[in-house]
Amino acid sequence: MKKVFLFLFTAFTLTSYSQIELESILEGGVADARTLLQGYVEPFPTGFGNGINGGWYTTAKTHKLLGIDIAVIANGASVPSSAETFTFNNADYSNIKLEDSSISSAEIPTLFGSQKLDDRPLLTFTDDTGNSISTSSLPGSGLKESIGFNVVPSAMLQAGIGLFKNTDLIIRYIPEQNDTDYQFSTFGFGIKHDLKQWIPFVKRLPFDVSALVGWNDVKSKFFLDPEDEPSQALEFNTKTFIFQVLASKKLSIFTIYGGVGTTNYKTDVNMLGSYTTSASNTTYTDPISLKYDGSSMRANLGLSIKLLFLNIAAEYAVQEYDVFSVRAGFSIR
C-alpha cells in the first residue's frame, strides 16, 4: 500500500524535478528561485489540497449505534488548462530573465505544462554582477500530451463508527511510513450528524439529510538523492477542511447522494538540505519555503451500490479543481 502512496505523491513532481537540476534554479539566487518555483509548482499543492477532501461519505444516512464502515478512497483532481502555464515577468526577478530581450513577459509551463520545446521559453540565469551563468527552460510533465488530461492523484484509508444521537465519527489515519526514498503519514477526522431529527418539517422528507465537517493533515517528505545527499528532500505538508450539508436517497441496492458546502486547504512546500551551485560555487541550506492556500464552494453528486456488506461508490465534485473520487469498502449497520 505504501508503494501506491509513493507513486501518487511523486509521479508528477519528482519526474519533472529530475529533468532539471535544482541547483541550477538557485544560480539566480534564493529570492528569484522562490518566485520562479512558486508559480511552477502551484498546480500540485492546489490539486492535492482539493483532491484529498473527496470520498468522505457515500450516504447522508448515519450508522446505527456502533455500526462501522471501512474504505479505500482514490481521488483525482483535474488540473484546468489555465494552470498549465504561469506568467513570467522580467520585472519580478533580479537575476533570471527571458532570453528573448524583446519581450518583458511570457507564459511558461508549470509542473503540469507542455514538454514541447516550442512551448518552453528559454530563461537566462545571471550572477549578482550580471554575468550570464546558464540558459535553460522549465519542463512540464507532458501528462496531458501523453494521456489527454492533467490530474493530481491522492488516496486515503478511512473508517467510520456510529455513535449516539445519529452521529458518525470518521477517522482517516495512516501511521508514519518510512523508506529510503520517502516518509509519509496522514491523520484526519470528521463528524457526520443527522439533521432530520431536529427539524420538524424535515423529518417528513423522503430522503436523508445530514451535515458533515472534516479535517485532514497529510505530511510527506521525498528524498532526492538518498545515497549521495541524504539531507536533500522535498517536503509537502497539507491541511484541509470541509463542511457540507448532505442529502441521499436509497433506491434498492443503489444510493444517490450529494452535498453542497465549502472546502479549503493550506500546503507548505519546503526544499530541504544543502545545495551547491556549479557556476558560483555557492552553498544554500534549506533554501526554499513555499506556501499555498485556497478555498472554494463545493458541490458533489455520487452513486453507490451495496452488495451485502460491500459498498462501491463514485462521485464528481465541482470546486476550485474538480475532483473525481472512487471508493470501495464494507459497511455494517
115-172 pLDDT tens trace: 887 778 899 998 777 788 888 888 877 777 777 778 999 989 999 999 999 999 999 9
Beta strands in the chain (DSSP E): 68-78, 85-89, 96-98, 105-109, 123-126, 132-136, 151-163, 167-178, 182-194, 208-225, 229-251, 254-272, 274-276, 283-285, 288-307, 310-318, 323-332
Give me the residue label for grid cell 499543492. 45
Q: How far apart are CA 216 and CA 49, in angstroms?
A: 9
Rounded Cα distance between 59 and 207, Å, is 10
Q: What's the structural domain count of the chain?
A: 1
> One digit per residue, pLDDT tens: the chain, 333 residues?
434 344 444 444 444 444 456 777 888 889 999 999 999 999 999 999 999 999 999 999 999 999 999 999 999 999 999 999 999 999 999 999 999 989 999 999 998 888 887 778 899 998 777 788 888 888 877 777 777 778 999 989 999 999 999 999 999 998 888 888 888 899 999 999 999 999 887 778 899 999 999 999 999 888 877 787 888 888 999 999 999 999 999 999 999 999 999 999 999 999 999 988 887 788 999 999 999 999 999 999 999 999 888 999 999 999 999 999 999 999 887
Domain housing 77: 2-332
Distance CA 314, CA 307 (A): 15
Question: Which CATH number fits the domain that encloses residue 273?
Answer: 2.40.160.20
Helices of type H across the chain = 2-10, 14-17, 22-25, 30-41, 43-51, 143-147
